[in-house]
Amino acid sequence: MSSENILRVSNLHVSIGETEILRGVDLEIHAGEIHALMGRNGSGKSTLANVLMGHPDYEITNGTIEYFGEDLTEMEPWERARAGVFLSFQYPQSVPGLKVGNFLRKSVQAVQGDDAPSAREFRAELNAAMEALDIDKKFLGRYVNDGFSGGEKKRFEILQLMLMKPRIAILDETDSGLDIDALKTVAEGVNALRSEQRAMLLITHYQRVLNYVEPDVVHVMMDGKIVRTGGIELAEALEEKGYEWIEQELFHDTDDATSAEAAQA
């Protein structure tokens, strides 16, 4: 019996103004799975993440996004968050004047509503998560992302993820700017959240984070489309050979198709 389908993206086309960025994305993620989405800068990875979360700057011109079989595009961003969609931003924003501890508590209450833990339960979960991520208790008294290092920002986002317990987590460049120790810590937090009820989409340029978070499926995005899907061996091939070999294969596939059409004509 197959696992529950959490997310299905079908023939998704997305534009900003007159510029088309996503050109027919197909993606299906089931409960219990971790998918890695790899690609160069400008390939459309972060655009897909923002569209899934409901960023208003992007216009869906064709295709569908289903979340547990329902039309995700009909939900406002806050409704998506309440429904269990979590996005870790590539460049987290500062929120001066709001302390981390208050932010975390209010965020969990806003997202989980009546299911939010009691104050005592929240403190226990917070302490356990901070210990797992090697975060000092003084962190709670600081202002949100105000003066944080890159590693602190990423730990903070994984801390939010651990407390909010979403059904699908979209992690956009979580490994960006991390030294090896911070990367291992963040990876441990992600691995701790792997479960049969949750799915994750891990967006990255590089294979190195996949040494610590092993995905079930690896996708490669180029020019606004997912052009290759495979297992961890696909990520390893990218680490060894870069992206050019895929471009060459795509070029040859196009040439072969054109030749075949010409022969039939």
Question: With pLDDT > 70 as the criterion, what percentage of the chain qualifies?
Answer: 92
Judge whether 89 and 38 are in contact, CB under 8 Å: no
pLDDT at 45 over 70: yes
What pTM value is reported for the model? Answer: 0.87
pLDDT at 2 over 90: no
Mean pLDDT computed over 241-265 = 67
Question: With pLDDT > 90 as the criterion, what percentage of the chain qualifies?
Answer: 60
H-state helical runs in the chain: 45-53, 77-83, 100-112, 119-132, 150-164, 180-192, 232-241, 244-264
Q: What is the pLDDT of residue 215?
A: 94
State the DSSP code for 198: -
150-164 vs 180-192: helix crossing angle, rounded to 10: 10
